[in-house]
Amino acid sequence: MAETILVTGATGNTGRHVVAGLIAEGVPVRALVRDPARARLPEGVEVVGGDITDPEAVSAAAEGTAGAYLLWPGYGTEGVDETVEALTGHVRRVVYFSAIAAGEDSDSVWGRVEAAVRASGREWTFLRITGMATNTLGWAEQVRAGAVRAPHGRASRSLVHERDIAAVAVRALLDGGHTGRAYTVTGPESLTQAEQVRILGEETGLPVRWEEQPEEEARAELAGTMGADFATTALAYWASLVDDPEPVSRDVEAVTGRPALTFRAWAREHAGDFTASASG
């Protein structure tokens, strides 16, 4: 019988697809979730309660498992070393949801987690993601209102479908040949933010346009919700993508054997999430 795999963030955007992919392969799954009573997971999944930032909960959840899909929440690094030590005290293989920034800044949260996993001596694979298509759901209310107002409409991103991230994770957890690899996980094309909005309009049937927002106005909004440091970092990154678009990698296809899903395919699949309140 296949050995059990631990999935953290099991009810989230990628985790739930990792769970589904492992089950489809006949692999027993244990899910670490904050609130087991509210978790909606497939029948047969072993659900355990606990927070990924609690080393004792992580150790208990990892006991008896062979591998883990690791998702670290937020942008802080406090407790990273303790959590990774607790996890790797049991599992022999870790697949970590990382970001492309890890390869550029070892002091970033993603770089810090990667360093801790490497230092454990366990088998590891890092999924360095450019950006997730699902993050555009943050525009849903504006899409319904007819205009997305944000800065840097010419910034180009290679957004990836959450199912592609999960598909790469499943293969890295179950197959040989992925140990010590840091995959650049992207969509199959780089699209400007304005182009993303146009595609969302076409796939939802809603009339929507891009409206360029002055950077200082955007900075004030972001600082109010996410903090000044995040606002500065995010705006600088988006500005850089105008002249230096996010890369497009073929790693999804190399690992899964099929091309990465397009942003248009994602938009078509999630059209209902944008139109749900359009008539109510």
Average pLDDT over residues 216-230: 90
3-state secondary structure of 184: strand
Q: Minimal CA–CA distance to 155: which of 202, 190, 200?
A: 190
**Sequence-ordered alpha helix ranges (H) in the chain:** 15-24, 55-62, 80-88, 109-119, 140-145, 162-174, 193-204, 215-226, 228-243, 251-256, 263-269, 271-275
Whether the per-residue pLDDT at 75 is higher than 60: the answer is yes
Q: Minimal CA–CA distance to 242: which of 193, 181, 186?
A: 193
Minimum mean pLDDT among 68-77, 190-199, 259-268: which range?
68-77
Average pLDDT over residues 231-259: 95
Average pLDDT over residues 79-106: 96
Q: What is the pLDDT of residue 279?
A: 46
Confidence band for 1, pLDDT divided at 50, 70 and 90: low
CB 20 within 8 A of CB 5: no
Q: What is the pLDDT of residue 26?
A: 96
Q: Minimal CA–CA distance to 96: which of 119, 79, 59, 71?
A: 71
- Specify the CATH number for 134-160+186-246+261-280; select among 3.40.50.720, 1.10.287.130, 1.10.10.10, 2.60.40.10: 3.40.50.720
End-to-end, the C-alpha distance of the chain in Å comes to: 50
Strand ranges across the sheet with 67-70: 46-49, 29-33, 5-8, 67-70, 93-99, 123-129, 181-185
Average pLDDT over residues 215-220: 93
Average pLDDT over residues 59-79: 94
Of all residues in the chain, the percent with pLDDT exceeding 70 is 98
| Structural tokens at position 232 | 């500065």
3-state secondary structure of 193: helix
CB 209 within 8 A of CB 151: no
Length of the chain counted residue by residue: 280
pLDDT digits (tens, 9 = 90+) for 168-177: 999 999 999 9
One fold for 5-129 and 134-160+186-246+261-280: yes
Of all residues in the chain, the percent with pLDDT exceeding 90 is 90
pLDDT digits (tens, 9 = 90+) for 21-54: 999 999 999 999 999 989 999 999 999 999 999 9
- Angle subtended by helix axes 80-88 and 55-62, to nearest 10: 20
| Structural tokens at position 93 | 């293989």
Q: What is the pLDDT of residue 277?
A: 62
0.75 surpassed by pTM: yes
CB 184 within 8 A of CB 100: yes
CB 171 within 8 A of CB 255: yes
What residue segments make up the domains of the chain, in order of their start?
Answer: 5-129, 134-160+186-246+261-280
DSSP assigned state of 134: G
DSSP assigned state of 208: -
| Structural tokens at position 78 | 């406090």
Query: How many Å apart are CA 98 and CA 81, to the nearest integer?
Result: 15
CATH 3.40.50.720 fits 5-129, yes or no: yes
Whether the per-residue pLDDT at 278 is higher than 90: the answer is no
